[in-house]
Amino acid sequence: MVFELDRQNGKPLYLQIKNRIGKLIEEGTLGPSERLPATRDLARSLAVNRHTVVKAYEELEVEGKVRSGVGQGTFVAAFVRRARGVAADSCRAAAPVDRADFEGLWGRSSRALEQGGVGELFSHLPQRGDGVTALTSCLTSIDFFPMREFRNCAYYALQKYGAELLDLGPTPGFAPFLEHLPKHLLRHGLDVEPNQILITCGTQQGIDLVARTLVNPGDTVITEELTYPGAISTFRSLGAELVGVPLDAEGMKVEALEKLLSWKKPKLLYTIPTFQNPTGTTMSVARRKRLLELAALHRFPILEDQYANDLRLDGAAALPLAAMDRQGWVIAVGSLSKVLFHGLRVGWILSPIDSIRRRVVALKQAVDLQTTYLVQGIILEFMRRGYLEKYLKRRLIQLRARRNAMRQAMKEYLPPQASWYEVEGGVCYWVTLPPPLRADEVLLEARKRGVVFAPKNVFHVGSSANDGMRWGFTDLTEERSRAAVRVIGQILRKMLAAETRPLTAAPQTDYLRAPV
């Protein structure tokens, strides 16, 4: 095997050797398991240093094109992807004429998940970076995050714990992180022990694990009538019957729930009592107490989603249901995703009941064994060094300004027939349109002008109306937020002016208080 090297183009010689041999392999000139020249011999024929050939062979081995053995030499790998247009090696099976057809083989879960929910929201609507103003986004602002401190914490964590962070360990979580997390949770009144916590890959996995622990096909799961689409997808994938309870400015209407419980027995109730997604409302203390009484009376567990409890911008904080619960009916899920980055995927399940913890841990082991210790170790250092507290204070100042900017723009630009909730924190506003306007029709017009939002049909459980929309304010500068609201306001006023049917104000029933 002899070929020429170009010593004038500045490209490293070892890369030239690697690329030339790799091409010969892809073309089939060098066949499977064929032995390559010894490094010393090839170096002599190419007039290069032997270490140059050794490095080229090492690069080929990393790419999986060759294999080597001590004292045996270097060989072409048995199976290598051929260059386009080159016939496959004879030892590989011929491609079948007919592709596999999976129709009729789908499981219940996959069929249910295709029907909408969180996948519908993110697959059909542009997100961050698509050249539009995406009110769909409730993500953390990337440029606001203290990357230098976080990077340093990664270094400190690896220095301190070493290979322990890269190893397989107990499913509940990295022990030092489990010991420290209760200190963070105590700020919300949650007095928990480390052995009452299971670390998960975000809130979504927590919801899924709890649901699969408790829910069977045909069971009734009660939620707010508008709720988180990821939870809707999870419950429907398990074959549950979803029943929605109306909302108002104080969250779930517990009096409506009480009437429902007189004839409907739920297996589980899922609620987001603080900064409810998508409406942003917070359940009143009186309703929280009554909800706990109903759970004990009718003996159903409550799955409390605490996804945004850290994001209170003003007003007095209400204790989470899990902190008020004295009997153990509440199972809580939460995470740091809305504070840090969604991609870190570290959340938790909290329950004082041993039987619940044993079963969710067993399910977690069946899914992915453990949530990566490396990220838990980094976040632990981020907490211990005070970076999380400092960052959260700065982030809340930023979110308050962004929330206020959107609120002011809504007052200025939206027609009086539209209504919305005031929010004391969280990630979004909920706007309801006056009949007969529809959110999907507004979305089509807004998208033409570079603005998108999440319409009601993504979030509703039982209603067929599409008269609402969620606007996230966490990822937008004040200027972009005002511009987006102005665009939608112009569209609404134009639609209202063209509407020939009688107009009414947005309904003051299930979802809204009086217009702001």
Supply 89's token pair. Answer: 């090696």
Residues with Cβ within 8 Å of 217's Cβ and at least 6 positions away in sequence, in order, are 108, 238, 239, 240
Phi-psi domain of 93 (left: phi exceeds 0; alpha: psi -120 through 50; beta: other): beta
C-alpha separations of 266 from 252, 258, 301 in Å: 16, 12, 9
Task: Determine the Cα–Cα distance for residues 26 and 151; give it in Å rounded to an integer.
Answer: 40
C-alpha separations of 349 from 5, 56, 275, 281 in Å: 60, 49, 19, 23
User: Which runs of consecutive H residues, i.e. helices, occur in 265-386?
Assistant: 285-298, 321-324, 354-367, 373-384
244 sits in which H/E element: strand 241-245
Task: Determine the Cα–Cα distance for residues 370 and 381; give it in Å rounded to an integer.
Answer: 19
Q: Looking at residue 476, what is its pLDDT?
A: 87
Supply 449's token pair. Answer: 């002008």
The dihedral through the CA atoms of 130, 131, 137, 142 has a sign that is positive
Return the biggest CA–CA distance within the chain: 91
Q: Provide the residue-wise pLDDT of the chain in tens; the chain has 516 residues.
A: 778 888 888 788 899 899 999 889 888 888 888 999 998 988 888 888 999 999 999 898 888 888 887 778 899 988 777 666 555 454 455 555 577 777 777 676 666 665 544 554 445 555 555 567 888 888 777 777 888 999 999 999 999 999 999 999 999 999 999 999 999 999 899 999 999 999 999 999 999 999 999 999 999 999 999 999 999 999 999 999 999 999 999 999 999 999 999 999 999 999 999 999 999 999 999 999 999 999 999 999 999 999 999 999 998 888 999 999 999 999 999 998 888 877 788 999 999 999 999 999 999 999 999 999 999 999 999 999 999 999 999 999 999 999 999 999 999 999 999 999 899 999 999 999 988 899 999 999 999 999 999 999 889 987 667 899 999 998 888 999 999 999 999 999 999 988 765 555 555 434 333 333
Task: Determine the Cα–Cα distance for residues 488 and 454; give it in Å rounded to an integer.
Answer: 13
Please answer whether residues 270 and 207 qualify as being in contact, where contact means their C-beta atoms are separated by less than 8 angstroms.
yes
173: DSSP letter: -
Task: Determine the Cα–Cα distance for residues 494 and 111; give it in Å rounded to an integer.
Answer: 40
93 sits in which H/E element: none
Task: Determine the Cα–Cα distance for residues 455 and 469; give it in Å rounded to an integer.
Answer: 4
Tokens 């994001």, located at residue? 311
C-alpha separations of 323 from 92, 186, 305 in Å: 61, 9, 13
Burial per residue of 288-304, b for 16 or more beta-carbon CB atoms within 10 angstroms, e otherwise = beebbebbeebebbbbb
- The number of angstroms, rounded, from the C-alpha of 458 to the middle of its chain's C-alpha atoms is 16
pTM of structure: 0.80
Q: Looking at residue 445, what is its pLDDT?
A: 93
Task: Determine the Cα–Cα distance for residues 27 and 38; give it in Å rounded to an integer.
Answer: 21
Task: Determine the Cα–Cα distance for residues 383 and 340; give it in Å rounded to an integer.
Answer: 11
Burial per residue of 228-265, b for 16 or more beta-carbon CB atoms within 10 angstroms, e otherwise = bbbbbbbbbbbebbbbbbbbbebbbbbebbbebbeeee
Please answer whether residues 280 and 407 qualify as being in contact, where contact means their C-beta atoms are separated by less than 8 angstroms.
no
